[in-house]
């Protein structure tokens, strides 16, 4: 009954998942069994901050015992279904390094087959998608056919790399009037089954790790975006009806690395070395311009690559779920707080573009 709270109009939904405490993994919490938060209902979590504990409310809060299957059915099922109906969908995983993002999205390391109970949201989405596809094809008795393409890119330092072609140079984002924002020149691989899609994913994922050692990049400093483009063709009375939709699965960089992009506090940008230009002056001015009184103005500083790429997911007509992963250990208090706050703000993320409508309301 409480589920009906989350009405369909919301562009973005937030699912908070609390991971179990870890042992012997080298995380900061080793040995310390005390917790900084408690799941108080299926929508709320209480953070033991001082002096007053703070409560946060989300579309769903999953405690430490939540199964992978349950995460999938809550978050992804609906999104995969609407993808079949021609709508775009996006699932983000957000959280501090070590908070369980990869486990949630992918499953345990070195996962190889689909029988593993611990497999994550992505393999389960593949299975479900292809299950739905074959059911549709059967039902339509051949009148309907599907085509599924996968691409996998990584955004690091505001540059885009193709994980399916590790030899490629950095790529550019472009926009097309019909197909929206896309990465120009990104490799697209066809997948005819869940296993094939998973193969593409793991190939790219491996590239991501290789990259992290050979080029001194940490995987947690990059965003990885796996995109499935689903094209359905329906023949009927001599007319061919084509529909396309996209499913984006996004593993965001560790939240602790994102302080710069989500810079809030009052840290000053520094012009440390004498010859460097004052890069962030523009950001300061931009903030001034932003608080303007509704006048039309142009801001020259562009969105980050990630928000540009997923622009449609952030408040268009796409279905979007953010999975915020948190670690309950006391020592993670700071990061957990910032993740919970981010997740709450995420609900407010909307494309602010307004209708150009005269507001002074002259009625003639």
Partner 1 sequence: MASTNSREWKAVCEKFRQAQDLSEIESRKDPENDPFRSKYKARELLKEIHCTVKNFEVDDRENEDRETDGQSGEHGDGEAINGGVHQVHAGDSRAGLRAAKLGVIEYYLGVNHIETEELSAGEEYLMTCLKLLDECTVTRENVSLLIQVRNQLGILWAGRDETETAQGFLEKAESIYTHYMKEDGQPPLDLVDFFVLEEDAPSQQERIRRFEMAYTHTLYYLAQVYKNMGQYERAGQYCHSTLQRQLKFSQFVPLEWAINAATLSQYYITKTRYMEARHCLAAANVIAGLAGEVPSEAAAKESEVEYEKREQLRQKRAEIARCWIKYCLNLLQDAKKLLEDNIGELDLDRQEELQRARRGEEEEKERGRKTAFLFDSTDTFDSICSQEEKVSCIFPLSFDEARAIFLVGQNYVTQAKEYFEMDGHVTDHIEILQDHSALFKVLAFFEEDLERRCKMHKRRVDMLEPICKDLNAQYYLLICRQLQFELAETFYEMMDLKLAVAEKQDQPDAHTIKKFNHLCSASIKYYQTFLDSIRSPEGKFPEKLEDDVLRPALVAKFRIARLQSKIITGNLATQLENLSLSLESYNFVVQYCENHPESKKSVETELELSEEMVSLLPIKINRIQGRIASSN
Nearest to 340 by CA among 323, 321, 324: 324
Nearest to 157 by CA among 148, 143, 170, 168: 170
Give the pairing type, strands 12-18 and 60-62. parallel
Options 141, 167, 348, 354; binder of partner 1; rule CB under 8 A: 354
Instruction: Count residues binding partner 1 (CB under 8 A).
Output: 68
For residue 302, the minimal CB distance to partner 1 (Å) is: 9
For residue 269, the minimal CB distance to partner 1 (Å) is: 7
For 207-267, the DSSP string reads HHHHHHHHTS--GGGSEEEEEEEEEEEEEETTEEEEEEEEEEEEEPPPGGG-TTTT--S-P
271 binds partner 1 (CB under 8 A): yes
Nearest to 301 by CA among 288, 316, 314, 315: 288
> Could you say which residues in the range 203-262 bind partner 1, by CB under 8 A?
216, 218, 245
Q: Which is nearer to partner 1, 116 or 270 (CB)?
A: 270
Options 6, 27, 46, 87; binder of partner 1; rule CB under 8 A: 87
DSSP character at residue 349? -
Token readout for 97 is 């390094």
167 binds partner 1 (CB under 8 A): no
3-class state of residue 60 by DSSP: strand
- Contacting range for partner 1; rule: CB under 8 A; set: 72-80, 112-120, 248-256, 315-323: 315-323
How far is 320 from 101, CA to CA, in rounded Å?
Answer: 17
Q: Which is nearer to partner 1, 68 or 88 (CB)?
A: 88
Output the CA torsion sign for 348, 179, 150, 77: positive
> Could you say which residues in the range 1-20 bind partner 1, by CB under 8 A?
8-9
Options 241, 284, 304, 345; binder of partner 1; rule CB under 8 A: 284
For residue 60, the minimal CB distance to partner 1 (Å) is: 22
285 binds partner 1 (CB under 8 A): yes
- Contacting range for partner 1; rule: CB under 8 A; set: 21-29, 79-87, 148-156, 229-237: 79-87
Nearest to 108 by CA among 117, 99, 118, 100: 118
For residue 77, the minimal CB distance to partner 1 (Å) is: 16
Residue 273: other Cβ atoms inside 10 A: 6
348 binds partner 1 (CB under 8 A): no
Options 179, 206, 262, 345; binder of partner 1; rule CB under 8 A: 179
For residue 357, the minimal CB distance to partner 1 (Å) is: 5
341 binds partner 1 (CB under 8 A): no
Residue 105: other Cβ atoms inside 10 A: 24
For residue 360, the minimal CB distance to partner 1 (Å) is: 8
Give the pairing type, strands 144-156 and 239-251. unpaired
In sequence order, which residues have a C-beta less than 8 Å from that of residue 85 and are 6 or more positions away?
245
Q: Name the site residues for partner 1 (rule: CB under 8 A).
A: 8-9, 82, 85-88, 174-181, 216, 218, 245, 265-271, 273-274, 277-282, 284-289, 291-293, 295-301, 311-312, 315-317, 350-351, 353-364
């Amino acid at each position: 009954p409480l589920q009906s709270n989350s009405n369909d109009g919301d562009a973005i939904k937030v699912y908070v998942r609390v991971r179990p405490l870890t042992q012997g993994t080298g995380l900061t919490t080793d040995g310390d069994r005390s917790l900084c938060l408690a799941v108080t209902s299926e929508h709320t979590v209480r953070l033991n901050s001082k002096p007053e504990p703070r409560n946060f409310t989300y579309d769903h809060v999953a405690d430490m015992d939540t199964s992978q299957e349950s995460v999938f059915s809550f978050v992804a099922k609906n999104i995969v279904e609407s993808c079949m109906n021609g709508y775009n969908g996006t699932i983000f995983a957000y959280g501090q390094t070590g908070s369980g993002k990869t486990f949630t999205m992918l499953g345990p390391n070195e996962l190889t087959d689909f029988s593993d109970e611990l497999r994550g949201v992505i393999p389960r989405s593949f299975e479900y998608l292809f299950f739905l596809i074959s059911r549709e094809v059967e039902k339509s008795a051949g009148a309907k056919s599907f085509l599924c393409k996968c691409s996998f890119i990584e955004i690091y330092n505001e540059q885009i790399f193709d994980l399916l072609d590790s030899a490629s140079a950095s790529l550019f984002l472009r926009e097309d009037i019909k197909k929206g924002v896309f990465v120009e020149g990104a490799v697209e691989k066809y997948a005819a089954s869940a296993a094939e899609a998973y193969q593409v994913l793991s190939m790219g994922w491996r590239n991501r790790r290789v990259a992290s050692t050979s080029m001194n990049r940490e995987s947690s400093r990059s965003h990885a975006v796996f995109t499935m483009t689903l094209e359905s063709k329906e023949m009927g009375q001599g007319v061919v009806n084509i529909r396309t939709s996209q499913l984006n699965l996004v593993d965001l960089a560790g939240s602790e690395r994102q302080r710069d992009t989500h810079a809030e506090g009052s840290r000053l940008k520094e012009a440390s070395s004498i010859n460097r230009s004052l890069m962030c002056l523009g950001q300061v001015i931009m903030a001034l311009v932003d608080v303007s009184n509704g006048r039309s103005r142009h801001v020259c500083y562009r969105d980050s690559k990630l928000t540009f790429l997923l622009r449609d997911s952030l408040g268009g007509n796409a279905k979007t779920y953010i999975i915020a992963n948190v670690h309950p250990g006391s020592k993670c208090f700071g990061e957990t707080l910032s993740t919970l706050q981010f997740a709450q703000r995420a609900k407010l993320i909307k494309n602010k573009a307004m209708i150009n409508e005269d507001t002074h309301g002259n009625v003639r």
